[in-house]
């Protein structure tokens, strides 16, 4: 868990041509980009990760399958591929990823102002947890959860989930449900 350099953007997601350490961006409330990957399977289950208790931000909470900041000079696809490999030990290619859904997510918590453009990818993949090699500095464990159960769990106990704003979670769940429904019609 390094304090990497990340590119800084304006509130309209235009690059400013400067970079800051991630901790500085969170201290200053600088806008930056992150990659979020939702992996779901043909049974209508989404893969969640439990963030490591050693994480600085939201330790011990449930999060997307994989997520992380763009490092300096990186784009959404490269960040997604890197983060999935680092956190889950899974290899993705550019062809696995379509265009991301970009959500503007301003939030603050515990002295951190996390103004992030979330670049959200959705990937259908039938995999086993046994196929993964978790980075235990980042991820405690993973689980597959039926998407309807995820929606219920988030509604009942949002504090158990990484504190992206509620709009992020609700939009992601709606998108997962759409994709699973469309997949069942094919």
Nearest CA to 158 among 145, 147, 167, 51?
Answer: 167
CATH node for 35-99+117-185: 3.90.79.10
d(CA 117, CA 30): 11
Whether 136 has a pLDDT exceeding 80, the answer reads yes
Give the pLDDT confidence of 55-104 residue by residue, as tens digits. Answer: 877 889 999 999 999 999 999 999 999 999 999 999 999 999 999 999 99
138 contacts 87 by C-beta, under 8 angstroms: yes
- Whole-prediction pTM value? 0.92
- CA neighbours within 13 Å on the CB side: how many for 85? 10
Domain ranges of the chain: 35-99+117-185
26 contacts 107 by C-beta, under 8 angstroms: no
């Amino acid at each position: 868990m390094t304090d990497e350099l990340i590119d800084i953007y304006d509130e309209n997601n235009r690059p400013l041509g400067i970079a800051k350490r991630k901790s500085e961006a969170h201290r200053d409330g600088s806008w930056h980009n992150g990659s979020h990957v939702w992996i779901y399977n043909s049974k209508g289950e989404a893969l969640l990760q439990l963030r490591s208790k050693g994480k600085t931000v939201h330790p011990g909470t449930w999060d997307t399958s994989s997520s992380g900041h763009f490092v300096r000079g990186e784009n959404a696809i490269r960040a997604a591929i890197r983060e999935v490999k680092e956190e889950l030990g899974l290899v993705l290619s550019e062809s696995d990823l379509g265009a991301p859904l970009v959500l503007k997510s301003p939030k603050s918590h515990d002295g951190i102002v996390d103004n992030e453009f979330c670049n959200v990818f959705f990937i259908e993949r039938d995999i086993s947890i046994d196929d993964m090699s978790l980075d235990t500095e980042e991820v405690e464990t993973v689980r597959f959860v039926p998407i309807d159960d995820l929606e219920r769990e988030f509604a009942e106990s949002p504090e158990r989930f990484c504190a992206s704003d509620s709009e992020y979670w609700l939009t992601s769940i709606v998108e997962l449900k759409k994709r699973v429904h469309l997949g069942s019609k094919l």
